[in-house]
Structure 1
Amino acid sequence: MRGVLLNALRFVATKWPIVALLVFVNLSVLALIWVSLDNSRRQHQDRAEITSRNTNRLVAQSIAGDIDRIDLALLTTIDEIGRLRQASPKLEPGTLTPFLTRLQGRLPMADSVRLAGPDGVVIDGSGGVPAGINIVDRDYFAKLRDKAATGLVISQPILGRVSNKWVLIFARRVDLADGGFGGIVFAPVTIDWFEQKFNGLEVGVGGTVVMRGDASRDFDLLARVPHAGYVGQTKVSDTFRARITAKPEGDTYQAAAGADGIHRTFSYRPIANYPLITLVGLATEDYVGEWRKEAAKLAGLAGAFLLVTVFSGIGLLRTWRTLERRTEELARSNADLEQFAYVASHDLQSPLRNISGYAQLLARRYKGRLDEDADEFIDYIVGGAQHMSAMIPDLLNYARASTAPQVLSEVKLDDILQSVQTNLGSTIAAAGAEITVGPLPTVRAEPRQVESLFQNLIENALTYHPPDRKARISITAEPGSTGMWRFAVADNGIGIESQYFDKIFGVFQRLEPNRFPGGTGIGLALCRRIVTRFGGTIWVESKPDIGTTFFFTLQDAKVEEQKD
């Protein structure tokens, strides 16, 4: 149990960087998504405020334009009355009807344009008026009657006595020549007209458009879409009163509407110089709903990313654990293989020496005394034992080339080639070979293995050489790709067919063993393993009966110095 726990702790300790990286990546992604969603919500909020302000500006300008036209029509009517009274001080009922009818045709917002005398009786109007209509009890009539130079008066919402609809009255005083009160001209505009105007605005499902009086009118409700409350009511919150009183020029704010409890982003502004204000509110739920859709998509992507990274991380950890286990097994296998190679080389050499010794003893004592077949058999035994004795150290070197720890250092190849030529001195002399060595660099490698590399390539050139031709071997070097040297070991030997270019680098692969005996078939395989171990590549180019060139690359020693 303790061993299992220790292994688990060791596994966690070695894998915590991956776990930490996965946690960091996921937290970073979640943080980015959170920041993105927060910014997106702010952007939706900002867009709602801008849309609310822009829509409100359009509404206020449109209503101000309508009122300006109504007021201009009233002033035009007053001028017309003054002109007519110059001809006849007393206006007969119906005198202004054609004029007012034409004038009202240019005012689609007004139900009519009418004239009331000083006693409040409506005496004329566009399209005519019913008899007996008196407005003397109306507040706007009293205000204009009692105070000269009042200007345009806008009434409270009232129920029209002609249309029987809720209307706003826009009225002006008519003065007599002596300055006395001569009645009023007025134009009723239905509340429905304003609400139809509001209905055409894009304010969302939960949006609202409201027109109220300003603080001087106690914020009386004049029109609202959608309907909530009754026209004329002045019930508003203290916060609303304080806000508009403090900033009558207009502002944007968020609040829950008292009429329906819906939370909205409101924008308010005055309607020109008139005692009216408009409010446009966009429901928070409308624009937050769009944001929620975006948030849901991002949350889905984040969840998918989280699942992918978690499961990928789990898979990676499992793979890593499997690789570690296999690496440990491979290390044990390599260690066992190296131990086996050492043991095999030691234990096999002794019986091989016995076999070879006794076979040679038989050859010396009984050669010629037995028949020819016996002499041939003895020669086979001696040759096989000697060949086996040569293969064992080559196999051991082949195993060491990949299992021994790398201890790299600067290797001067000039010194290596001198050592190789010394080692092969007798073989070179026996073959009468001529070896030419060009300028060689210093590389980053292991001296013993580089020496084995060059020695095997030169031995190979000496072995596979026709006896009727003087052996010539050249060794050159030139800069290759970045940080590498390219070497060439060329000979004028028997050459190699192109189909054998890959085969010759395999273990125990030899060409024409009967014609050129003596090799073990491991030399070129060992060369490839050595070059690969140092990060290089090796290949061959050859033409039969002309010669062979082995190319390989090794790392320049200066590259490692620059890294250091």
Structure 2
Amino acid sequence: MTVTATEIWRQRTTTVAAAEKNLSALSLALSQQTERAFHSVELVVEATALSIEAAGGLERAGTETLHNVLRARITGVPQISGLAVINAQGRVVNGARLFPSPTDDRSGLDYFIQHRDTLSNAILISPTRPSLVDGRAIIPVSRRVSAPDGSFQGIIVATVDPDYFQQSFRRALPAEGGASAIFRSDGILLARTPAVDGMAPGRSYGHLPIFRPDAPRHGLGWGASPMDGAVRILAYDRLDLYPLIVNVSLQESALLADWYGNSGRLALAAAMATLLLGGAAFILVRQSRREEEFVVALRDSEQRLRFAQYALDHAADMVFWIDAEARILYANDAAGSRLGYAPTALVGMPIDRIDPHFSSDFWPRLLRRLKQRGTVRFETTNLTADGGAYPAEVAANCVAFAGADYVCAFVRDISQRKLAEAALAEKTAKLEASNAELEQFAYVASHDLREPLRMVSSFVTLLARRYGPLLTDEAREFIAMAQDGAVRMDRLILGLLEYSRVGRQERPLVPVPLAEMTAQALRALAVAVEEAGATVEVAPDLPRVMANEEELLRLILNLLGNALKYRHPDRLPVVTVGWRREGPEVVYWVADNGIGIAPQYHERVFGIFQRLHSRERYEGTGIGLAICKKIVERAGGRIWIESTPDLGSTFYFSLKVA
């Protein structure tokens, strides 16, 4: 009897261990599928934001053209039930389902208020709620739309159908006692299969241990379910890209049903064997162990095969198996949905019906390439059942099985990516053209302005020389003010010319020694250093950076000149030049003990013609730091300031190390 009890407990332990392993694998598979599904939704939302920007902003988003774009964008994304654009007043201006869209007021919705009051453009996944259109449950996935100045323009919201996940999960769960759910990381339920009366999505379970901030990213648990009260074994996984948690559970009664039957049979057999012959019990136990091990191995093999088949059938990307004659042997649900065929209708179809590049002549050459390289990635064009076409990205692998060659191809529709790339390229080209025109205008205008200004200055000076003794003191003061204004205007024009010259000649970046540039700048400022009684300390071993030599010298001259100019009236200036290495970049700084800059002006000082002090106190045009910023950014770096009023400032810039 002791042997029988030990064997019964061992079988229970084996059954539980196998269930924990299988549930962990299924939880991981469902969490990855969920992450891919929400990532597809995010791509649709981001592509819509680019379309709105290309159309000229959200105020121009009410066109039928954009409606058609939205409708096409959600085609082939089965988890999305709707897509809408909402303006800053909370009114729907366009949508994927109806045109014109109903102008419902959405300004009171939680996710609208959160986007309005938060500057972030990040994706927000809100709790499940009834649709305002048809009352069905939806999961809103939204992002903020901001104007170029950062002000709130409105939001884009895609509505995700929870039933998509419920149906997908239902096919993967065990027939008896299985359940799965998606939660937000704060414990709010988004979807569950099977549904439980009184436990509608939107309810919070944040008190459970798996939702604590310090909980592991994945794990196992055992206990009574707060939803249906059944004792369950549970596996869960946190998603990497989104604040979501997916769990899978199995009722204890379903899990141990086979074990209960086995344990009863073993106990009866042991009692009979004990009465008849002690040796027979040992034989029965050994035979039972072999049978149980065989059943467990067979069950594990079937489970792994089931997981693999589920992953293929319900993958977000299209999956094909193709034989050596270029005929399709298998196509998953995503392939049939995107191409407009039933998946079974694709079986036996020549692959060149979908991709004309793969003719019967080309296919053997592709097989040879795949055998040599293992995996081949390329972009192509696929044809749909209705004669349409879309760009696709393909990853193809050659697999040899039972003496024959097969191709497994993973195909992704990259229409949205291509649209986004084209929109970005167009926007970049327009921006570059606009910047070039602006720089050319600034250069020509400032250059041409100097000639009439020199004439005004010359004649005012001539007037003062010839008729100065004949004029009153007030008239001579007026002439002096005109001369001073002409001089200041000339300095402004010269500064503008210098600003426009930065980067006009597209010279390649070359290795430039910071030590030599710093020494040249200090030689040029030697008189200013001596007049100010300044102490300048330069760190040793200054490295070389990738820059334009002439512009780098101008940058260091401006920073050192400012450190001397804006010195504190109550102490002699001390200027320190230093550097540090940060990965592939060098950070160079100029620190002083001058008058400092208040925090609210740290960004403003880099704007063109920005001055914080009167001309009577400090000379200058307000262009120097704008030139510094332009030089650094042209070289691929950045510039910033750390400063405390009345204690001094430190200006930093980073450039790539040579």
TM value normalised by structure 1: 0.47
More strand, by proportion? 2
Higher relative contact order (CA 8 A, sep 6+): 1
More helix, by proportion? 1
